[in-house]
Amino acid sequence: MKSLGSIRREFAPWNDPQAKAYISFENVTKRFGDFTAVNNLSLSIYEKEFFALLGASGCGKSTLLRMLAGFDEPTTGRILLDGQDMRGIPPYRRPVNMMFQSYALFPHMTVEANIGFGLKQEGMAKAEIEQRVAEMLKLVKLEQFAKRKPHQLSGGQRQRVALARSVAKRPKVLLLDEPLGALDKKLREETQFELMDLQQSLGLTFVVVTHDQEEAMTMADRIAILDKGEVMQVATPAEVYEAPISRFVAGFVGNVNMFEGTVAARDADSARITGASGAEIVVGNAGEAAAGNAVAFAIRPEKIKVSSRRPEGVANAMEGEVYDLAYLGDMTVYHVRLDDGQVVKASALNSSRASDDALSWNDRAWISFPPDAGVVLTR
Amino acid sequence: MSNVALSADEAAGSGSASRSILSRARSALLGRLVIIVPYLWLLIFFLVPFIIVFKISLSQTAIAMPPYVPALSLDDGIGGLFAQFGEMSFDNYVWLTEDALYFNAYISSIVIAGISTLLTLLVGYPIAYGMARAPSTLRPTLLMLVILPFWTSFLIRVYAWIGILKPEGLLNQFLQGIGVIDDPLLIMNTNTAIYIGIVYSYLPFMILPLYASLEKMDYSLIEAAQDLGCPPISAFWKITFPLSLPGVIAGCMLVFIPAVGEFVIPDLLGGSQTLMIGKTLWNEFFNNRDWPVSSAVAVILLLLLIVPIMIFQAAQARAQEQAR
């Protein structure tokens, strides 16, 4: 497989067999009455990693975070932090800090007192606390708000106070529960990069829970995609996007077109897949799919080319009709209804300001893609 | 042309402006009307009786109907009425300062009410806390249980305590039955019985405001405190208790204020040596038939209670400020 390495930095301890996991979940199950929130889950997170737990609500991601913080204990299995079994250790003795989704700022304390709260608990000297608090306020650019109460701050400022408070103790691991959920879109995008910079400059391990795939893709070194208390895939954002291992992951992250079919023939790497209507797709990276398997061919919209005439020399081309199109400025999204009835999404970058060959509603159109533009999914 | 258009625009603008001023004035008037109704209520049912009591407190006792002079009658015309005003004096208030009985009764009432309030808080806080942390499906039932005693007459409930506390009562029978004590505990007719009575009677007034302030508290604040290294007990004193302070103040005032003037509980459960201002007032009024002095006692009691009421008001205002 071609390397799909991290965009941000050269950091991949998960590929190093010598590297020791910093946090490990070992066969962790958590039940609340009849409901199984986390089901026999194992996961390794490395030191200084920015790790995202991504899933829809109720998938168990928040439960994982709460177990790491010590608010819930696993029903079975164990959690190791830096080699130490965390069972029975109460939240106030764990070297992790959490940034709460609601921020949970103490309303009766000033910004300063909120940030210094954990340090005071530690028994740190007063002068030292003052110095650390000042440092934290500078880090989140809230120096002039030190004496304010939380209710006198905006949502974005509260978020930064919560962040400063949770990193003030220099925890080994920072847990973030939907850290940007309460912010508006523009502020959220800015803050994503601030969080990444903070993580790099402090050299902390971040575990973030989010339901927003874009957020996870932007910030994380690796993403664990969870569904019904189980891990579906753990991989870098690029791998999750380009090489999903199941229909669920492919559908959960980003837009995708799925062609269901059976493997008609299989060579070393390539295979031919026949769809229900008889259409044939040639793929160059069939993976584990064997002849006769029922598979899905998943391909992202931006990897499909749309043209008004049949393109020359391509492996896969299908004819249909432009059923819908949306002009988004930077790109145009086409919905092409193929002659067998399937609607395929394709997006094209608008790299020039005008095109002679512009397609319109109800035009006949061809979609085409090379053999290795998509992935074959057996699960 | 453009000038004409402009002036027409202006006219329309000023027209709508004057309309909006008018409607605003009307809504302000309506708003004031809404306020006037409760004010009138207070005026008629609080201020007028108070003025009557205050007037009686300035009168002199007499063997008459009503038992004081002047009665402020119009029998002798307006001139006679003014002459009657001249008969009024602050003698009764001077009398209150001369007899140590009243001073001691005030002090003893405040001490008993204060101790009872503290005990009610100690009993009520854990109950309110437990209710606020109970599963949300259970909370209405628990709330109902707290309010349930109000369905029975207050007097009957205090009488029931006599049956429990007296030397041959339920409590002593039970304790002697299981062999904890040999001789019955003498609780009845002591201050202890009064504390028990007040704590029992006023507990709902303590629990309800406490519950209200604890219930709306975000539990993640406690988790955050623990996450930052604070053990649970310390988290309670640093986070939960300060945040429930408006409820604590409201509950204490709701117990303390009526407890100071309490008459039924000290009369039924307390001993003859128990001095409380409510009882003193009752004695002056019904046993001595000295309406002017008992009115003076009542006026002073009200003045004494204005201080805690103002503390209560200030705390309420601050709580509202915080909530916003």
d(CA A281, CA B30): 76
Structure tokens at B67: 């038992």
Query: Does any CB of chain A come closer than 8 Å to the CB of residue B239?
Result: yes
d(CA A160, CA B225): 17
The length of chain B in residues reads: 324
Q: Mean pLDDT, to the nearest integer, of A319-323?
A: 84
List phi, psi (to 5°) of A367.
-110, 145
Which H or E element spans position A289? none
How many residue pairs from chains A and B have C-beta atoms closer than 8 A? 61
On chain A, the residues whose CB falls within 8 A of the CB of B223 are: 69, 71, 91, 98, 100, 104
d(CA A111, CA A93): 24
On chain B, the residues whose CB falls within 8 A of the CB of A102 are: 218, 220
pLDDT band at B9 (very low <50, low <70, confident <90, very high): very low
B244 to chain A: nearest residue by CA?
A108
Task: Kindly state the percentage of chain B with pLDDT values over 90.
Answer: 28
Is B239 within 8 Å of A151 when comparing Cβ atoms?
no
Q: Mean pLDDT, to the nearest integer, of B307-320?
A: 78
pLDDT at site B64: 76
Query: Does any CB of chain A come closer than 8 Å to the CB of residue B230?
Result: yes
Q: Per mean pLDDT, which range of A221-235, B202-216, B299-313 is the poorest?
A: B299-313
Is A104 within 8 Å of B220 when comparing Cβ atoms?
yes
In Å, how far is A132's CA from the nearest CA of chain B?
15
Amino acid letter, residue A299: I
- Residues of A engaging B, defined by a Cβ cutoff of 8 Å: 69-71, 90-93, 96-98, 100, 102, 104-108, 117-118, 121-122, 151, 165-166, 169
Could you tell me the sign of the dihedral formed by the alpha carbons of A110, A116, A118, A120, in that order?
negative
Closest partner CB to B230 (pick from A100, A108, A121): A121
User: Of A82, A60, A334, A330, which is closest to residue A205 (Cα–Cα)?
Assistant: A82
Residue B295 pLDDT more than 80? yes
CB B206 within 8 A of CB B255: yes
**B90-323 is classed CATH 3.30.1490.100:** no
The length of chain A in residues reads: 379
Cα angle A51-A57-A59, degrees, rounded to a multiple of 5: 65
DSSP structure class, residue A6 = -
pLDDT band at B317 (very low <50, low <70, confident <90, very high): confident
Q: CATH assignment of A13-95+171-247, given 1.10.150.120, 3.40.50.300, 3.40.605.10, 3.30.420.40?
A: 3.40.50.300
In Å, how far is A58's CA from the nearest CA of chain B?
19
CB A101 within 8 A of CB A211: no
Q: Mean pLDDT, to the nearest integer, of B153-163?
A: 90
In Å, how far is A221's CA from the nearest CA of chain B?
25
In Å, how far is B123's CA from the nearest CA of chain A?
25
Residue A210 pLDDT more than 50? yes
In Å, how far is B322's CA from the nearest CA of chain A?
8
pLDDT band at A4 (very low <50, low <70, confident <90, very high): very low
Q: Beta A205-210 vs A50-54: how paired, if at all?
A: parallel
CB B166 within 8 A of CB B193: no
> Whole-model pTM?
0.76
Number of C-alpha atoms within 13 angstroms, CB side, residue B66?
16
The ipTM, to two decimals, is 0.78
Is A92 within 8 Å of B218 when comparing Cβ atoms?
no
Domain ranges for chain B = 2-57, 58-89, 90-323
Task: Give CATH for domain A255-377.
Answer: 2.40.50.140
pLDDT at site A260: 82
* pLDDT one-digit tens code per residue, B129-154: 999 999 989 999 999 999 988 888 88
Residue B306 pLDDT more than 70? yes
A contact test, residue of B217, B227, B241 with most A CBs within 10 A: B227
In Å, how far is A150's CA from the nearest CA of chain B?
10
Query: Does any CB of chain A come closer than 8 Å to the CB of residue B229?
Result: yes
Domain ranges for chain A = 13-95+171-247, 255-377
Is B229 within 8 Å of A107 when comparing Cβ atoms?
no
CB A165 within 8 A of CB A95: no
User: Of A371, A366, A342, A360, which is closest to residue A257 (Cα–Cα)?
Assistant: A342
On chain A, the residues whose CB falls within 8 A of the CB of B226 are: 70-71, 90-92
Count of Cβ atoms closer than 10 Å to residue A63 Cβ: 23
Could you tell me the sign of the dihedral formed by the alpha carbons of B275, B279, B283, B284, in that order?
positive
Number of C-alpha atoms within 13 angstroms, CB side, residue B318?
14
Query: Does any CB of chain A come closer than 8 Å to the CB of residue B185?
Result: no
Which H or E element spans position B262? none
Residue A211 pLDDT more than 50? yes
Is A102 within 8 Å of B229 when comparing Cβ atoms?
no
pLDDT at site B131: 94
Is A100 within 8 Å of B225 when comparing Cβ atoms?
no
* pLDDT one-digit tens code per residue, B86-145: 778 888 888 888 888 888 889 999 999 999 999 999 999 999 999 999 998 999 999 999
Is A91 within 8 Å of B227 when comparing Cβ atoms?
yes
Residue A166's alpha-carbon distances to A115, A116, A181, in angstroms, are 8, 10, 17
The radius of gyration of chain B from alpha carbons, rounded to an integer in Å, stands at: 28
Residue A2 pLDDT more than 50? no
pLDDT at site A376: 80
- DSSP-derived 3-state class of residue B203: helix
Query: Does any CB of chain A come closer than 8 Å to the CB of residue B182?
Result: no
d(CA A359, CA A321): 10
Residue B217 pLDDT more than 60? yes
d(CA B231, CA B228): 9
**Residue A134, Cβ density class (10 Å: 0-12 exposed, 13-18 middle, ≥19 buried):** middle
CB B108 within 8 A of CB B275: yes
Of A5-14, B60-69, B237-246, highest mean pLDDT: B237-246
In chain A, where do the E strands start and end?
Answer: 23-32, 35-45, 50-54, 76-81, 84-85, 96-99, 173-177, 205-210, 222-227, 230-235, 257-266, 271-275, 280-283, 294-299, 305-307, 316-327, 331-338, 343-349, 364-369, 375-377
Residue A329 pLDDT more than 90? no
Structure tokens at A168: 């003030």
Structure tokens at A56: 């829809």
pLDDT at site B8: 44
Q: Mean pLDDT, to the nearest integer, of A350-368?
A: 76
